[in-house]
Structure 1
């Protein structure tokens, strides 16, 4: 005797995610150009952006804190002098349910930062503008590629550690 399911696939629980809060954990903006007293200098900015991510479980069920850290360094191409340095640690508290345990780490470090990125972008734009520079609009970040690079780096470090033992 065969069981008929009317072609329906088994029900997979729907992933639930919501942003409970988001905030600036830490921020620093240094306007080196103004500190040096340079006005209308021959400036040709070159901007470097570094991004790092971190996630941790909170005490409450299904809650996680995800931190995105941006280090934005603007230097003058002509003499390599720093124009400004912006360091921003922006975090979100997320409620996440029904993500399989083996995918949770990737979900937290890809999907969660993607959700708060527009707010990070606005903060960076406002701070650089208010700091006396043209607003810097962060390019979209490929958090999936960033995650893959981070996992490759961790795997390489683990391999080096076992090779040294």
Structure 2
């Protein structure tokens, strides 16, 4: 019996993540097509989505703000005339416990945004529909690939930095 208790005590505690709050930090939507008077035939969209992530420690123990910054722009396929532009900053406040320090950064920038994404997708869909367009249903975002690309970009930037700069 004592051995069983010792084995149970030696097992690592699983990571814990809880969404404490989530909210729209900033948002704008411009229906450029309506403002400029683009005709119906001009509105076949070429949609571009840019995603940036930000993580900040809060004053409370084990709490972090994770902000997903999304820019969705649509231009006509022929001529590249702007149709609409949407900018969204969506923040989640997360309580994260039992994650080793060396794994915390990827956890915050991969797992936490994954939790927020369904809500972001719904907001984009609703706002584009309310803005006068068919609802835009975003494809899933691969936050792991985004994280790896950012690490590679930073490594490349460090390798190409001129000697003597810090």
Q: TM-score, normalised by structure 2?
A: 0.91
Q: Partner of 1:41: helix, strand, or coil?
A: helix
The 3 A distance-change label for structure 1 pair 81 and 114 is same
SS at match of 2:132: coil
SS in 1 for 2:21: strand
| C-alpha separation in 1, matches of 2:155 and 2:14 | 31
Count residues with an aligned counterpart. 162
Partner SS, residue 113 of structure 2: helix
State the secondary structure of the residue aligned to 1:74: strand
d(CA) in 2 for partners of 1:148, 1:116: 19
Task: Specify the alignment match of 2:41 in structure 1.
Answer: 41
- Is contact 1:26-1:90 (8 Å) kept? yes
The CA RMSD over aligned residues, in Å, is: 1.7
Q: Could you tell me which residue of structure 2 aligns to residue 140 of structure 1? A: 140
String of CA shifts for 1:79-111, please: whole Å, max 9, x gaps.
100000001010100000000000000000000
Within 1, Cα distance between the matches of 2:53 and 2:117?
A: 12
Which segment is superposed worse, 151-160 or 38-47? 38-47
Structure 1 distance, partners of 2:144, 2:99, is 17
For residues 44 and 123 of structure 2, what CA distance do their matches in structure 1 show? 23
In the TM superposition, residue 131 of structure 1 has moved relative to its aligned partner by 0.2
> How far apart in 1 are the matches of 2:151 and 2:85?
27
How far apart are the structure 2 equivalents of 1:5 and 1:69? 50
Q: How far, CA to CA, are the matches of 2:75 and 2:13 in structure 1? A: 49
The structure 1 segments of at least 4 consecutive aligned residues displaced by more than 6 Å after TM superposition are none
- What is the aligned partner in structure 1 of residue 54 from structure 2? 54
Structure 2 unaligned segments of length 5 or more: list them.
Answer: none
Trace 1:126-137 onto structure 2 (pairs within 5 A).
126-137=126-137
TM-score, scaled relative to structure 1: 0.92
1:39 Cα deviation (Å)?
A: 3.8
Q: Look up the match of 1:88.
A: 88
What is the Cα deviation at residue 142 of structure 1? 0.5
User: Which stretch shows the higher mean deviation, 11-20 or 150-159?
Assistant: 150-159
1 or 2, which has the higher helix percentage?
Answer: 2
